[in-house]
Structure 1
Amino acid sequence: MAQIRLFNLFIHCVIFSGGLTYGFGFAGFTTSIGQPSFYKYFKLDRHLHSILGAVNALFYAGCAFGSIVQAYLADWVGRKRALMIAAIAACIGAALGAGSVNVPMLVTCRLIHGFGLGMDIPLIPLFLTELASARHRGFLSGLTTLSFATGYVMYAIYSYSTWGRLGQEKGTDTIIACSCGWIAVGTYFATNETFQWRFPLAIACLPPLIMVATIPFLPESPRYLAWVGKHDEAWKVISKIHYDPEDVGDASAARAEYTQIVRQVEYDKESSTSMLQIFKRPTWRRRAFLAMFILFASQSTGVFGIANYLPIIVGSMGETGVMPLVLYGVYTTTGTLMVLVVISVLDRVGRRTMFLIGFPGMALCLLAEAVLQWKYLGTTSSGGNAACILFIFVYIVFYQGVDAPSFVWAAEIFPTTIRAKGIALAFFSYFLGAITYTTPAPTALRNIGYRLYFIYMALCIISTVIVYFFVMETKGKPVEELGALFGDKVVVHLTSDGHGIVEEKLMAEVKEDKVEEVKIDVTTVI
């Protein structure tokens, strides 16, 4: 039993490094372009507003393309090998980026890195969803968000340390304020300026290298194995990772789960699984549009537009020197801790409930933020400016009620045969949303200021209404049974304790009734 628990822990540690791969990949580059030495080396005009917007758009374009590619890759070579390919691509992109000698090389590497990360991020909730049991799926799939949020946080010490050496030069503290996270404190003592921007790019190679070294020891997804006809291998994986010491003989949760997976996937295989078929079949189309909506809606909250430029925002509220960076570090740390809280209760509270807390909660925070900035921004009111900062922190708390559940929900609602393609569409929408809202954010903040928050608020309200009427609760149900919520046929249902098949029990009861009827007839004749 201890060995099995350690094996499950190992699986989730490896997958956690996959989330760190994205977190490090994004935050590392943002940290680098916050260094004056970066602009000095590449002979760039240090105009971070336009540069950061363009670079983020380029990165997300690579991610969007990678998310679509993984849909076909995961179905072709399997979830496990697809993760390996994604990790290798991310590692190559990060390594070449760290060694870039000119702008064209840097741009190309950013695309490659984004491509690898775009494959990586959808595969993590996909893989975890297909491994997790119904009772713990929300928490385990939610580790995706926790892992890359942790990657963001681990870059802030770098922001703080390099500010101490460079941020006070020529008033560059506002420029450096756009760097991410709490890592690389050792660079505070670096005398080589090039090291200060190359190091965060290079360290982004670490999580994918861990993945490359450990993925060979992971099991393949049992649902994928069942889909491709490797039933014996699927059973070995399920019996190992979902072993229960209370199981007796064939009356086991693992055996019931295996039976349900195999029968449902055999039924689903009868339909075409092309991308076109997803949009032609009404029940699949509905799932695809809702998954795309929920991830695009998470971006419509304005979270990246606010987070990427938060130090500049708080700087406009009177915070100077190192305080914008400190506040950014606290902001990212608060968000990450809240992710842990959310995923810990997600399997009890439910995905839909968290959405209905998160979206309206953010709408209220954005309303308060807009009003406070309208009244106090540019004034000397320390209390008013402090209130502005406070509501940004409350905002990120409510955002986590949307972020982690959206990843979980988008991965679990699709049948095994189209899950990779369905989640690819969802994450394509996610990255499209990131481009849509991140690229114009600096210009919007400069030109319309607090009015931007009213736009985000309206989008949060619209999302709340759509969730209320169209998004169904999925907690506690096996993924094979979620099709019933959308009108698909469910071949096999698990009993409430998860140790048996409802249809088999009904058949057994029918047989017992018939035997009793025969006995009664015989007794009557005698």
Structure 2
Amino acid sequence: MNSKTRQEMTEEVEITEAHAMDNDDVHWWKQPQLRRLYLLMPFLFLGSTTLGYDGSLLNGLQAMPTWNEFFHNPSGSLLGLYGAMPGFGGLVVLLFAPYIADYLGRRHGTALGNLFVLLGAILQALPSAKSPKGMYLAGRFLIGFGSNISNGTCPLLITEVAHPRHRGRITTIYNTLWYLGSVLAAVTTYGTLVGLSTNLQWRLPTALQCAMPGIQLLALYLVPESPRFHIARGKPEKARQMLIKYHGNGVETQFVQWEYEEISNTLRLEQEASAQSGWMELVRTPGNRKRCILIISTAIFSQCSGNSLVSYYLVQILTSIGITNPRTQSLFNVGLTIWCLLVALGCAFAVDKVGRRVLFLSAGIGMLISFTIWTACAAMYEKTGQQGYANAVLGMIFLFYTVAGLAWPGLTVSYTVEILPYKIRAKGLTLCFCFTALSGVFNQYVNPIGLKNLGWKFYFVYIVVLVIEVLMIYFYFVETRGLPLEEIARVIDGDQAAAAVVADNLAYEGKQAASRRGSAAVKHDEV
């Protein structure tokens, strides 16, 4: 097959795909089954909300006199250990998480993770006064352990059951709802700080960590299992019926037929190509090696761009600029997290119009500028003590998180799962969580030490990271906007992609069928 023929065939298949997409009614609110599927999505989004709640909870607890008294005023490395422990728990389970997703399924994996999170939340809320540290650390370890199981499966389920027309927005919304958990934690801790004075002040918001995984566990099995998982486990009819029911509204449309064939053939070719290579499949081909670099970069940038300073240690930052009142600190935390949620949600709906790469680059440049001004204002406040510089720091924190919301955290997970083919999607997402956890452990352990010993000078570390981030995004990141999952592989792998082979085969078969019809017509005319 020469290159001209390949190009012609690919163009024909793309026209067929576009025709199927354009003629299929994908207004989800008009299709009862697709509407039902999407109305169940908020229950899956709770996986990210659980992470956000835990991420902001420690921030709120640090402002509570009862929590500080109960845990003997932790600071420096001990406070860093409290913050980093979920990351250690997440790292332990990472080697097993993709096998849970691929062999137990997306739904069972999410349920298993929820059970560990529930256990961890209970342990965190009930440490004894005699030895509070051990039980509290064990609970935080289990929170990270369970969260990385459920978050290694839940985004896959969302991505793989969503209609291709809506996949980008829905998957991006998943991770932006980290901020919803952050808002809930900030509001809850402020409420108990104002209204309670006993140890219930910190035990109650800690125990409320059970709410999100508990609700998700109850509603999880109302959501269909991934059709790709069904096909991979030898149950193609279940996958076909799922696509007919939800993507065709009960009718086997032209688009549903194309989607089923594309998924089936692509998975078959991926299986044949990957053979028994296991984890080595992540680096076996040039395309997969590029995916690994993109995933690792995305994971590190999502944690090491200066955002973790405020996510976990806002109290120390506010104290450094003279804001020491616990209620004021908590109110600022509430306002900031609500604003971040609104910005991130708004940007999630723009991913298919603006594109991923543009959002990443805009966020990187904006974060670099605002963080640099933040650092300068913090330095001037330390030198002069003028309140104007402190107010400027508060303004730059809001601006920093506004531009960060263009891409982080929304695209961290959605971009990762988009660029991965099915056979390595679970392993690639695990790689993302591995470097997210490693970066988080580093940040959460090192940040309080750096802030304590260096103050605003510690911010220069993140300025350097942000410069590297902008350059990496500009020269290396690829765009995935508007493509079905199986077709995104072409952007990275080119003609070697399984989807490209499928396209060629389908086009070749189409040409052959057309040729046979033409021959039959000629014979008929001759007769």
Q: What TM-score range do you get, normalising by the shorter chain? A: 0.7 to 0.9
Q: Secondary structure at the match of 1:401?
A: coil
CA–CA distance in structure 2, aligned partners of residues 408 and 196 of structure 1? 36
Aligned to 1:472: 478
TM superposition shift of 1:494: 12
Letter in 1 for 2:205: P
Letter in 2 for 1:260: E
1:431 corresponds to which of 423, 430, 437: 437
Structure 1 residues 274 and 263: alpha-carbon distance in aligned structure 2, compared to 1, 3 A threshold: same
Aligned to 1:303: 307
CA–CA distance in structure 2, aligned partners of residues 285 and 494 of structure 1? 20
CA–CA distance in structure 2, aligned partners of residues 388 and 107 of structure 1? 33
TM superposition shift of 1:323: 2.3
CA contact (8 A) 1:283 1:487 kept: yes
1:361 corresponds to which of 366, 371, 376: 366
> 1:132 aligned to 2:137?
no
Structure 1 residues 145 and 373: alpha-carbon distance in aligned structure 2, compared to 1, 3 A threshold: same
Structure 1 residues 217 and 315: alpha-carbon distance in aligned structure 2, compared to 1, 3 A threshold: same
Aligned to 2:317: 313
Aligned to 1:254: 256
TM-score (norm 2): 0.86
2:109 corresponds to which of 78, 82, 94: 82
1:37 corresponds to which of 58, 66, 76: 66
Aligned to 2:20: none
CA–CA distance in structure 2, aligned partners of residues 302 and 213 of structure 1? 36
1:26 corresponds to which of 46, 51, 55: 55
Structure 1 residues 483 and 2: alpha-carbon distance in aligned structure 2, compared to 1, 3 A threshold: closer
CA contact (8 A) 2:90 2:148 kept: yes
Once the two structures are superposed, what CA deviation does each residue of 1:356-388 show, in whole Å capped at 9, x if it has no partner? 111111111111112222223353433332222
Letter in 2 for 1:462: I
Once the two structures are superposed, what CA deviation does each residue of 1:136-156 show, in whole Å capped at 9, x if it has no partner? 222111122222210111122
CA contact (8 A) 2:231 2:239 kept: yes
Letter in 1 for 2:185: Y
Aligned to 2:150: 120
CA–CA distance in structure 1, aligned partners of residues 248 and 277 of structure 2? 31
Letter in 1 for 2:152: P
> 1:72 aligned to 2:77?
no
Q: Percent identity among equivalent residues? A: 24
Aligned to 1:446: 452
Aligned to 1:374: 379
TM superposition shift of 1:502: 8.1
Aligned to 1:332: 337
CA–CA distance in structure 1, aligned partners of residues 99 and 473 of structure 2? 29
Structure 1 residues 307 and 97: alpha-carbon distance in aligned structure 2, compared to 1, 3 A threshold: closer
CA–CA distance in structure 1, aligned partners of residues 461 and 401 of structure 2? 17
Q: Secondary structure at the match of 2:349?
A: helix
Letter in 2 for 1:106: Y
CA contact (8 A) 1:413 1:482 kept: yes
CA–CA distance in structure 2, aligned partners of residues 373 and 280 of structure 1? 47
TM superposition shift of 1:327: 1.6
1:421 corresponds to which of 422, 427, 430: 427
2:281 corresponds to which of 256, 266, 277: 277
1:156 corresponds to which of 186, 189, 193: 186
CA contact (8 A) 1:98 1:199 kept: yes
CA–CA distance in structure 2, aligned partners of residues 491 and 142 of structure 1? 25
CA contact (8 A) 2:352 2:481 kept: yes
TM-score (norm 1): 0.86
Once the two structures are superposed, what CA deviation does each residue of 1:182-214 show, in whole Å capped at 9, x if it has no partner? xxxxxx1x46x1212211121111111112211
> 1:342 aligned to 2:359?
no
CA contact (8 A) 1:267 1:491 kept: yes
CA contact (8 A) 1:363 1:458 kept: no
More displaced 10-residue stretch of structure 1: 143-152 or 256-265? 143-152
TM superposition shift of 1:163: 4.2
> 1:14 aligned to 2:19?
no
More displaced 10-residue stretch of structure 1: 27-36 or 222-231? 27-36
Letter in 2 for 1:354: L
Aligned to 1:51: 78
CA–CA distance in structure 2, aligned partners of residues 255 and 203 of structure 1? 45
Aligned to 1:263: 265
TM superposition shift of 1:38: 3.0
CA contact (8 A) 1:66 1:117 kept: no
